Each structure stands twice: as structure tokens, then as C-alpha cells.
Amino acid sequence: MTDLRIGGAERSGIRLFDIFGIEIRLDWSVLIIFALIVYSLGAGLFPQWHESWSVATTWLTAVSAGVIFFASLLAHELSHSLMARRFGIRVPRITLFLFGGMAEIEAEARAPREEFAIAVVGPLMSMALGVGFSFVAGALMGEETLARLAEDPETAMAALSPLATACIWLGSVNMMLAIFNLVPGFPLDGGRVFRALIWWITGDAVRATRLASNAGRAFGWAIVALGFYNVLGLGNLGGLWLILIGWFLTHIARSSYTQMITERSLRSVRLADVMRTRFETVSADTSVERFVEECLLRSSQQLWPVVDDGRHVGTVSWSDVAGLAPEQRRSVTVAELATGLDEAHTLEAGEMATAALRRLGSVGDQPVAVLRDGRVVGLVRAGDILRWTLMHPADGEP
Ligand SMILES: [Zn+2]
């Protein structure tokens, strides 16, 4: 039997804690960016500002600033999540990963006004944090140092306490985050704001999405170009980072557009409407050898429901059979090899197609049995659902 589980709980990274009923997770890729940030502060910026600091003070400040930076990212994502929840949209978890945070907002906003509010609140939070940290830094410095900052910045900076130093950095980095996120390229927050505004004005959500997605791709390519200019023109290897971010942006601009269009055309469609209903079954007492020779090799069907005395008892697939040595095939029946029809391995016909598509994503393009009242009524692969949307494009109405 197969170990593949659909909609698996096998998420990468670790669960940190729950806040406001939202699970906060940390993807392992965060460690890379965290190490980079701490290194650039501890080995670059802070020693440059503070020649007199001890090694311990420098690195302790760098690590603390790095941790607070990730807490700021989390606050940004939480603001999106809580706003989404106000409009009745579920947000089960937030994952921090290589390029920042990602709130899993389960549905698209139903109205442009809601989309606008959900999108704009994130950059506003980052801006508020940026202003807040800068304000605290200013208060810690006192008027004298503040005045000196303009005349003799080097001496003024050198006199700052670790806390004030961290606050200055956190203030500017949060403001930069707010500005970066406000660029009108989907799926950045600014792109969502842009999309919401076009949707608001034209009433055409699909067109708004396409325009915002194109803007996002253009912005991504611009960053890639800037990265290449840095590497090739200026010999600055930091440009590699820009190339990576830019490429990632073009990629998600495209894929989130496809996803949104797919979800729109699948809106209110159930799994029963998109599954394959033409399939054959195999009797439980069939030997695996006969199953292979007479069924599997004579058909393109990959997953076969196993029927025992009129009851559906499981499914058997290519991969199940492949694990069995040829000499064993004669003595083993398909029933012995079958995967049970439990929740982890099947879908329900009444389930929404979009939800099913998300769960199917975890098994690649493997077929899964669809049940109604315990009987297999269809088979479905992620590709089947996408094929269905090609034949039933979404209309422009929201
Ligand atoms: Zn955001």
C-alpha cells in the first residue's frame, strides 16, 4: 500500500507558537537570511559604527536586532491576517521563510474594499514600526547627540548605546520594508492595493489581476536587471541577491495570477463536477500477476478501486505493484496490497474543487479516489482539475 497522503501535514520547518489562534511557523530557509542579516550587522555595520565595542556587545546586539527584525516581519503578517479575519476569511497559519513572511489567507477577498484594507494594513504596520523605532532611537540619544548627528555623524554614532543603535537600524529597515512592499507589483502588498483599486474602478477582477500581475513581473525583471548591473557593471556580488529576489518576484507574480484565475473559475464548483467518472475496478481476489497483465498493462488508468462482494474496499496503483518482487505477484491478491479508503488517501465528492486542488498539490499529479457514501465514484488528479478550468474560463464578474 502507498504511503502517499494527500494534503499531508508534512510541512517544512518548525512550529513556534500560536497567537490569536494563528499558528506561527518558521521555515528552515529563514536561518539562511537570519545568518546573513546577523553577519552583515555583526561583522560589517556595527564594528564600522562602534570601533570601541567588545566582540560580545557587537554580536549580542546583532543577534537581538535580527530577532526583533523577524518579530517585525511577523507583526506585518499578523496585521494582514487579523484584517482578513475581520472580513470572515480564515487564516490558519503564518510561515516565516527566506523572503519574509507569508500569511495563509484561505480565500480571496469578495470585494475590492476588503482586498484594499487587507493589503494596505501590512505596509502601514511596517511604516508605523519604522517610525516607532526611529522615535525610540531619537529619545534614547537625547537632544545633544541628535544635534551632533548632523555635524559629525561618525562621533555621534560611536557614542550611541547598543539599544539606540539597534533601534536606528530597525527603524530604517522597517521603513524600507514598507516602501518595498508598496511597489505596485502583484503579489506584493502594493500590487494587491493596485489590483483592488482597478477592481474598484472597473468592476473587473480578472482584468485587475492581470494588470497587477504584469506590473509585478515587470518590477521583478527590473530588479533582476539591477542585480546584473551590480554584478557585471560594478563588480558587486551583493547583486546576486537582487537577481534571486527579482527572479522570485517574476515567478510568484505569474503563479499567483494563474492560481487566482483557477480559483475564480472553480468558485462554487464541487469535486464531483471535475473528477473522472469513467474508470474500471478490479475484483479483490484477483492475483497481482493477473492484475498487472490484464488490467494495468492494458489501460492508461493508474489507480484501480478494489471491489469485494460489491463493496469498495480500497485502491491499488502502479506504485503499489512496483514494490512487489515478480515472483510474489502470483501469491498475493490485490486486496492484500490495497490502500484503504481512509480520509488520508481519499477525497469526498461533495468537497469544493479549490480545496481539493490544494490538497492534491501535495501528491504531485498522482490520481486519488473520490468517495460518496463510502463508494468510489471518481478518480481525480490535480491536472484533471486544471484541464477542467481550461474548458470553463472564469467570467470577468467579481
Ligand atoms: Zn504584506
pLDDT (tens, 9 = 90+) of the chain, 398 residues, equals: 556 666 654 456 788 788 888 888 888 888 888 888 889 888 888 888 877 778 788 888 888 999 999 899 899 999 999 998 898 888 888 888 766 677 777 667 778 899 899 999 999 999 999 999 999 988 888 777 777 777 777 777 777 788 888 898 999 999 998 998 888 777 788 888 988 998 899 888 888 888 888 888 898 899 999 999 988 888 878 788 889 888 888 888 888 787 777 777 887 889 999 899 999 999 989 998 999 999 889 998 989 999 988 888 889 988 888 888 888 888 888 888 888 888 888 889 888 888 888 788 777 778 888 989 888 899 998 888 888 888 887 654 43
Judge whether 293 counts as a catalytic residue.
no
End-of-domain residue from the set 265, 295, 322: 265
Domain total of the chain: 3
131 and 2 within one domain: yes
Ligand 1 centroid, distance to 180 Cα (angstroms): 10
- Tell me the residue range of the domain where 151 lies: 1-182
71 and 205 within one domain: no
Ligand 1 centroid, distance to 181 Cα (angstroms): 6
76 and 39 within one domain: yes
Which residue of the set 23, 77, 108, 293 is catalytic? 77
* pLDDT value at residue 362: 72
Quote the CA–CA distance of 300 and 285 in Å, as a whole number. 22
Ligand 1 centroid, distance to 21 Cα (angstroms): 19
368 and 288 within one domain: yes
Q: Which of 208, 206, 212, 211 is CA-nearest to residue 265?
A: 206
314 and 332 within one domain: yes
- Joined together, the cell numbers standing for residue 195 give 489590483
Ligand 1 centroid, distance to 61 Cα (angstroms): 26
C-alpha neighbours within 13 Å on the C-beta side of residue 167 = 17
Ligand 1 centroid, distance to 244 Cα (angstroms): 19
